[in-house]
Chains A and B, each alone.
Chain A
Amino acid sequence: MSNRLKKVFDTPNKKAFIAFLTAGDPTADCTVECILEMERAGADLVEIGIPFSDPTAEGVVIQDANIRALKNGMTTDGAFEIVRRVREKSQIPLAFMTYANPVFHYGYDRFFAKCRELGVDAIIVPDMPFEEKREMEEPANAHDVAVISMIAPTSESRIREIASEAKGFLYVVSSMGVTGVRSEIRTDLGAIVESIRKVTDIPCAVGFGISTPEQAKAMAEVSDGAIVGSAIVKIIAKYGEKAAPEVYRYVKSMKDAVAQV
């Protein structure tokens, strides 16, 4: 695991705030600017979505961001270029979030070699479950990129095997369904984190449906951090190329809420 990734959760009792945005939505320049503002606002890790034509795990908000980014010409190489530009100014931990096919098609080894060269620390692939992850994890490990495992409200008996092999941190999916803002999160996340804790002390971050500082705080109380995507993408959709200051304001409010825990 990279040193940057280790740092995300390394301070005892400090909760992490993880921010997501889609590469190239609406432009590469805007994405670079927003990532730097996220860091300045206190984000501990940024997830960069490599857009995919058919993002089956996403709700409407991130689906639309994928479409906008692809329409504006964003590609896997374009996402790497964004990372290169961010790394000229920042050492914030970075993860890619995308689907199996863009990575598979790029070539696993070529993809992860480039991740290491440019400084991407982890990857999250929602359509690569425990049963299938090996084909991606071996080349990723060889290049020191952590493949982040996910745990869902339905995982139950699977939690043990998934957690025991997890690297970096565990992405705990807060709710059933796809990504998107939810008014209420009903899953008993405390119980899920407790089952994970029986197997491993790897950090757990909760994502899906979180948009308000209150929700982020509640999630951080039962875990090691909160992940927010759709709420940020909504801001970017609304303000377009002028989104960076708004993203800063929002991430700051979320980070402050998480830090109160």
Chain B
Amino acid sequence: MSKGRYGIYGGQYISETLMNELIHLEECYENYKNDPEFQRELDTLNREYAGRPSLLYYAEKMTKDLGGAKIYLKREDLNHTGSHKINNVLGQALLAKRMGKTRIIAETGAGQHGVATATAAALLGMECEIYMGKEDTVRQALNVYRMELLGAKVHPVTTGTQTLKDAVNECMREWTNRVDDTLYVLGSVMGPHPFPMIVRDFQSVISREAKAQILEKEGKLPAAVVACVGGGSNSMGAFYNFIEDKEVELIGCEAAGKGVDTAFTAATIATGSLGIFHGMKSYFCQDEYGQIAPVYSISAGLDYPGIGPEHAYLHDIGRAQYVPITDDEAVDAFEYLARTEGIICAIESAHAVAHVKKIAKNYRPDQSIIICLSGRGDKDVAAIARYRGVDIHE
């Protein structure tokens, strides 16, 4: 079996043109991972620039209202650029710089990863180009302008379904064109090895902090960690340091869109099957001939037909469970968190909030649940208003 496997999942199903570059990337990463100078620089950026550690906030009103486990929110929404994406991007951009690259490219769905990448490029003085599905550039127009303010060039992708998967396709094509000076800063725990490993490692700061924070506040581990899953980067980061703690339930919330029994869904574990796509073997939404299915979710960041290979593995061995959350449930949770705790979270993160609303009462008051609040919701306000039939100008 080739490298970068999680059980049968993962691998490097990618064109020959990119293979040497992936091998080179892995070598450089393994080298810098253990380089104290690199780690010190990254740590400084995380603390002084991104605002880490992020808070672990006790949501007291929500806890009282739901009646059951104590609810904690891991506030990745308070990071610079407003989401967990910065954790991975600072690491990869720094790596790119050390590798002698002068240009970084990235795909983006909701725009969070694009904004984070453009930010890191501005900070580190690198050229930056972002590929974003045309439909997403419309849904998230504010983020497009934000990336342009940061000096990035945004390419609207007009192929296929014009969403996240097509942005990944186009980014891979562009990387094939130009590997010498360019690193593809992949935004999730997906794609060919070594990306699922690199992104997981950089995102695992979430659970490293959360574990220390919950032990300090509660004196024991949480009963559950809940996070939304598209490709799965914030959830893998939130799960990772709890995987060995078998008593901690790990729950990923997939975007069910209009429901898993409709064609308008992006719930990969619930509706997908084993396949090979975007460089990895994993679960994908696909038809009987292995054509990748168009997927749908109100959340551009979860609107992806696959899931990272390590999640597929955690699912198979029963270490994590994956539940579908509909648009309606997510929008309700989005509004609920705003009213109850005064926090407007990303519609992606609202999928995790929605699930905790359902399960909190099944736990005792001496137990706790950590929700990874992966991003803030400013970007979603206009879309939620539209969803509720309110027409506002941004």
Contact = CB atoms under 8 A, between A and B. Distances in A.
A151 B173 CA distance: 17
A237 interface: no
A133 B290 CA distance: 18
Interface string B1-44: 01100000001111111111100000000000000000000000
B160 interface: yes
Interface string B146-173: 0000000000000110000110010011
A76 B13 contact: no
A54 B20 CA distance: 23
A131 interface: yes
Contacts of A100: 13, 276-277
Nearest to A127: B13
Given A53-B160, A54-B277, A101-B276, A178 B2 contact: no
Interface string A39-53: 000000000000011
B16 A151 contact: yes
Interface in A128-182: 128-132, 150-158, 162, 173, 176-178
Interface in B271-305: 273-279, 284, 286, 288-292
B362 interface: no
Most chain A CB within 10 A, of B16, B18, B273, is at B16
Interface stretch (B176-184, B213-221, B333-341, B352-360): B176-184
Given A151-B16, A152-B15, A176-B177, A106 B169 contact: no
Given A54-B277, A101-B277, A176-B176, A127 B14 contact: yes
Contact of B20 (A53, A132, A156): A156
A129 B20 CA distance: 11
B13 A129 contact: yes
In this complex, the interface size class of chain A, counting residues with CB under 8 Å from chain B, is 35 or more
A152 B16 contact: yes
A129 B4 CA distance: 14
Contacts of B176: 57, 176-178
B14 A129 contact: yes
A239 interface: no
Given A54-B165, A132-B11, A153 B286 contact: no
A176 B173 CA distance: 10
A99 B14 CA distance: 10
Nearest to A126: B15
In this complex, the interface size class of chain B, counting residues with CB under 8 Å from chain A, is 35 or more
Given A53-B291, A54-B165, A106-B289, A129 B177 contact: no
Interface in A64-112: 67, 70, 75-77, 99-106
B179 A154 contact: yes
A121 B166 CA distance: 32
Given A54-B277, A100-B276, A154 B17 contact: yes
Nearest to A105: B290
Contacts of A177: 17, 173, 176-178
Contact of B169 (A54, A101, A131): A54
B172 A56 contact: yes
B173 A150 contact: no
A127 B279 contact: yes
B169 A56 contact: yes
A54 B177 contact: no
A67 B160 CA distance: 8
Nearest to B275: A101
A132 B192 CA distance: 11
B159 A63 contact: yes
Interface string B168-210: 0100110011110000000000000000000000000000000
B17 A176 contact: yes
A100 B274 CA distance: 12
B275 A105 contact: yes
A112 B14 CA distance: 21
B15 A57 contact: yes
Interface string A188-203: 0000000000000000
Contacts of B291: 52-53, 70, 102
A155 B13 contact: no
A54 B290 contact: no
A178 B165 CA distance: 17
Given A100-B13, A152-B19, A177-B17, 4 more contacts: A76-B290, A100-B276, A106-B290, A177-B173
8 contacts: A56-B173, A100-B13, A101-B276, A104-B290, A127-B15, A129-B12, A129-B15, A154-B17
